[in-house]
A and B are shown apart, each in its own frame.
Chain A
Amino acid sequence: MKKTTRKALSLLASMHLTVALLVVLMLLVVLCTLHQVELGTYGSVLKYMRGFFVYAALPGLGVRVPVFPAGGLVGLGLIANLLAVLFSAPGAFRQRAGFWLIHTGLVLLVLGEFMTGMFSVETQMTVEEGQTVNYTENRGREELVLIDHSLPEFDEVYSMDAAAMREGRTISHPRMPLDFKVIAHYPNAKLERRPPDSKLPPSKANRGVGPGVTVWPLAPAAEEQGGNQRTAYVEATAGGKPLGTWLVSAALAQPQHIDHAGGHYSLLLRPKRHYLPYSITLKDFRHDVYPGTSIPKNFASLIQLRHPQRGEDREVLIYMNHPLRYAGKAFFQASYGKGDTLSVLQVVENPGWLLPYVSFLLVTLGLLFQFAIQMRAFSKIEGGAG
């Protein structure tokens, strides 16, 4: 090994670096906790933990620059530090086996959290008793969808990422029959019925429900403050010819209809959907309480899981702390509503979910191994002294 490489490895393996990284991590946890007041849990975790840098806007310039390492970078640093310790530690493997297992376990622990932060996707499935659902919804992302109902067997869905909506921007795709120009966009807004004798300026929309609705733009709100209701006015065009302007909003539950050139389309802004190759039917939702009280005892969803391609059709009971793990996703009982006839399942897809378990196993084995080696060494010393 070259001298410079050895020096770099020794610096990377230094205990000072470990302590420095842990101090930065502690600072991040404090900042993340404090800023939950204004950003909400999700927003704060996103800012301080789920990236490589914490960004701040330069005053007067509006440019965002990295000002502090975020959780992702600290995690990578810890992994590098632990690996450097492993590679630079002297001694034969037999004597160092426990040490190796413990450090490998720690690397996997940090890597597991890193993978969860970067790659896990949390969505929800809301299903009413008797209803069958084959998609989950991402409440952190929205999509503007144009659905073409003209085909006899299928609906063609054109899903536009709502985060890409900017005033003046046109969203188009060679295969999409209509283009949409964003006339106005509000990350959060409140909608109200427009009274017939309203003195307010006329709506920007001239088609659909928009002309009967007043839009009040609001400041973006954290999830804990009620979340955002993204709202926009979009002008639909076909071959450059304007067809009208529609109001689209997360607050509008209903699709609006566009008829053009013999085609029938629906337009809707909704949480981003992820369709599944299998379906879930809610057969029964149970909300048990302790007798004579309203204290919850059990929440459970009895579902029918159908996966035609795998030939599966079976009942599953999902209840607190007993999720359904299926096809890389975990379905947790999360919430309920509508007089106990509706169940909300939190659907977590985390490619690194197994890593913490493997990590704990390795650390436990490593500690036992290390303990046994030390015991053996002590017994040899005692035997020699005797």
Chain B
Amino acid sequence: MAKILSGSAVLAGAVLCLSACSDKDVEIYRIAKTAEAPPAAEALPAGHPPMDGGAQMPDGHPPLGAGGGAAAMPGAAPVSGGLRWKLPAGWTEKAGAGMRAATFLVGEGESQLEASVISLGGIGGGMLPNVNRWRRQIGLPPIDEEALKRDTLKLVSPAGPVLMFDIPGPKQRILAGSIRDGEATWFIKMWGPKDPIGNAKKDFRRLLESLHWNK
């Protein structure tokens, strides 16, 4: 019995020691380059639950583990001046919350669509990694630089040249626009069910063509 009790004490001591020691350690390891998500605009961390309450619990299912409810916010960059736009008819604008510069709402009720505006420092991770991340989000394979050039629509706005991307997936579709501001890159993105997003494409393009700087 004494052995059992002293064994338990040793076990308890070992647990406490391990937890105390691990806090001070810097763990070093190597991973294959492909295992790490490339830097990308408006991305959740690789493998992170979706933002804006996108992750839902199935009815009757126990809650997730510790910290599971923590929402992520996209990265942001210092912005000089600010990007402005002219809203298409039927669109409403919500003030920027968290790291979002603005949120646009299209329509009402369950079929309401949402678009977001954010800015990131420098080139915001680069266009190709971002487009491929968007493609992956809607179940499409990645493309190369050549295909990206073919799929990029170059628009002109008072703020300067704007790149537009229309990425239709099997069930969902993404419309995105990108514009450089010297110190930062701005991204406007709309993502949702395929048909409603397709119907909003003309207005989305009008919005991109109305971009101007609030210097």
Contacts and interface: CB of A to CB of B under 8 A. Distances in A.
Chain A interface category by residue count:
35 or more
B64 A209 contact: no
Contact of A80 (B1, B33, B49, B172): B1
A208 B192 CA distance: 31
A143 B138 CA distance: 29
Contacts of B89: none
A126 B45 CA distance: 10
Interface string B132-148: 00001111110000000
Contacts of B24: 161, 164
Interface string B58-80: 11010111111111111111111
Contacts of B26: 158-160, 171-173, 175-176
A154 B137 contact: no
Nearest to A282: B139
B108 interface: no
B98 interface: yes
A76 B10 CA distance: 13
Contact of A122 (B65, B70, B73, B81): B65
Given A129-B139, A140-B65, A83 B1 contact: yes
B136 A130 contact: yes
Nearest to B22: A161
A213 B76 contact: yes
Contacts of B40: 254
A155 B36 contact: yes
Interface in A270-285: 270-271, 275
Q: Kindly name the residue among B45, B56, B69, B82 whose own CB sees the greatest number of chain A CB atoms within 10 A.
A: B45
B49 A227 contact: no
A171 B27 CA distance: 12
Chain B interface category by residue count: 35 or more
B33 A212 contact: no
B49 A192 contact: no
Nearest to A9: B1
Interface stretch (A22-30, A96-104, A339-347, A378-386): A339-347
B139 A130 contact: yes
Given A118-B15, A155-B30, A337 B56 contact: yes
A225 B15 CA distance: 30
B72 A223 contact: no
B125 to A, nearest CB: 7
Interface string A130-145: 1101110111100100
A345 B75 CA distance: 26
A118 B193 CA distance: 45
B55 interface: yes
A228 interface: yes
Nearest to A343: B55
Interface in A64-111: 72, 76, 79-80, 83-84, 87
B48 A161 contact: no
B57 interface: yes
B82 to A, nearest CB: 6
Interface string B113-150: 00000001100010000000000111111000000000
B98 A125 contact: no
Contacts of A190: 98
Contact of A173 (B22, B28, B74, B137): B28
A34 to B, nearest CB: 18
Contacts of B75: 209, 252-254, 256
Given A42-B65, A212-B79, A338 B70 contact: no
A36 to B, nearest CB: 12
B67 A275 contact: no
B136 A266 contact: no
Given A130-B136, A334-B57, A336-B56, 4 more contacts: A127-B47, A154-B33, A158-B26, A251-B73
